[in-house]
Amino acid sequence: MTPDNHHLEADLLALVRSRGADHARVEPDTDLIDAGLLDSLLLTDLILHIEERYAVAFDASDVSPANFRSVATMAELVRGRSPAAQSA
Amino acid sequence: MKWPLQDRPVPDDRIPLYNRFYLHAPRASHVDPTMVWGTEIDADALQVFLRERNRGGKVLLTTAHALIRATALALAQYPALNVRLVGRRIFAFRDVSIRTAFVHRRTGEIDVLLISAADQKSLEQIGQEVWQRLLQAARGKGPRDRDRGRLRETSPFWFRQLLRMYGFLDRHFRLPSVGRLDELRGGAAMVNDLSFPGAPPIRSYKPTRFPDPSDSLNLTLGAIESKVVARGDGFAETHVMPLFVRADHRLVDAYQVGRFVAAVRDLLSHPERLDAAATTPQAVPVAAASQ
């Protein structure tokens, strides 16, 4: 089954918000790149988290601004790449 | 097997006199050849540039990637700094390769990666190579991580003996790099991006020297800070990032370091120049450098 949109965003949002005071106000559509909140540590943590929990594989060519601009774009990426979505 | 250094050392008559004082100083004099130059760069220009490039680009670019590229271009311009000591001889590196530190997500430790021939690679190529290595490290599955794991399991006694033996050979002979771990000796410069979210402002920073004579130069970038500057008849808010450069007076003098720092600063403050091809090397100004 394709991951539920609401739960997927909430899951990724919780990870991002856990990074400190500056991240606590992040919303699904917050531009993490323009806000200077997406550093290499957070990005690798997000990728590992997604790979482990949703069985979605990434490589370096996936690390693009379009894919990781916001929690919403990340959720969209996971939904499109999840095994359930691909077999549908 | 790779030979990171040129076959012959820099001739003695090309080494400025005061560098030779430091180079040949007896151990008993406890000479300290370390120089640290602190400056700041225009963060507004760099942030605007990265924001634009991240608007439609295929690779997510960061200040770390810009710092790697700027350092490589400046080293290509001033090759007198792209050198290391072997004994009391100075050897130039064949390529402009840059080391950078990162947090190894699997172990939670600092690790180092090398971008070889970074002056020949675009900002996007550098970015993609860095992300690839970061993801490999985070998964802990790369061959280099297995080598690293074996080294971690070495007892303190044997670790020390290994460092002593390898250090002796590396200090006195022009060695090739043979493994995945010692390939890091392939570059003179190490860059460190400490401008992560939440990093405190840096007033002073002395980058440490790794127990490895190829670590000739270190550049560390700090977090963005606000600053009020006079502009016309009034004042304006601007943003800057501190940049600290550690160099070795046995290899270069303050004049050369100053010109190199100015080149890096210029590239980061005018980041559109990061897209330019590496410029022609500058001749070593022996007369000026020995002042």
**Structure confidence by residue, pLDDT tens digits, B34-71:** 999 999 999 999 999 999 999 989 999 999 999 999 99
- CATH code for the structural domain at B36-289: 3.30.559.10
| Residue whose pair of structure tokens reads 């600053």 in the numeric block | B227
Average pLDDT, chain B: 90
| Cβ pair B60:A38 closer than 8 A | yes
CB B128 within 8 A of CB B78: no
User: From start to end of B43-96, where are the E strands?
Assistant: 83-86, 89-92
CB B20 within 8 A of CB B250: no
Q: Is B2 helix (H, G, I), strand (E, B) or coil?
A: strand
Q: How far is CA A23 from the centre of its chain?
A: 14
Strands B217-221 and B225-231: unpaired
CATH class of A5-87: mainly alpha
Could you tell me the two tokens for B29? 């004099």
| Cβ pair B196:A41 closer than 8 A | yes
Find, among B164, B189, B168, the residue nearest to B86 by Cα. B168
Global pTM?
0.90
The DSSP output letter for B103 is: E
Mean of the pLDDT values across residues A10-16?
A: 95
Could you tell me the two tokens for A44? 């690798």
Q: For residue range B112-139, what is the model confidence (pLDDT) as tens digits?
A: 999 999 999 999 999 999 999 999 888 8
Element (H, E) at B38: strand B34-42
Please compute Rg for chain B using Cα positions.
Answer: 20
Chain A nearest-CA distance from B278, in A, is 25
**Looking at the partner chain, which of B102, B132, B224 has a beta carbon nearest the beta carbon of A60?**
B132
Q: How far is CA B16 from the centre of its chain?
A: 23
Mean of the pLDDT values across residues B277-287?
A: 58
> Would the ipTM clear 0.90, i.e. be above it?
no
Residue A2: what pLDDT? 57
| Cβ pair A64:B58 closer than 8 A | yes
Residue B259: what pLDDT? 97
CA-based max dimension of chain B: 66
Band (B8; pLDDT cuts 50, 70, 90)? very high
Q: Which residues of B touch A (CB under 8 A)?
A: 47, 51, 54-60, 62, 64, 102-103, 105, 127-132, 134-135, 138-139, 196-198, 224
Calpha distance B20→B12 (Å, rounded): 9
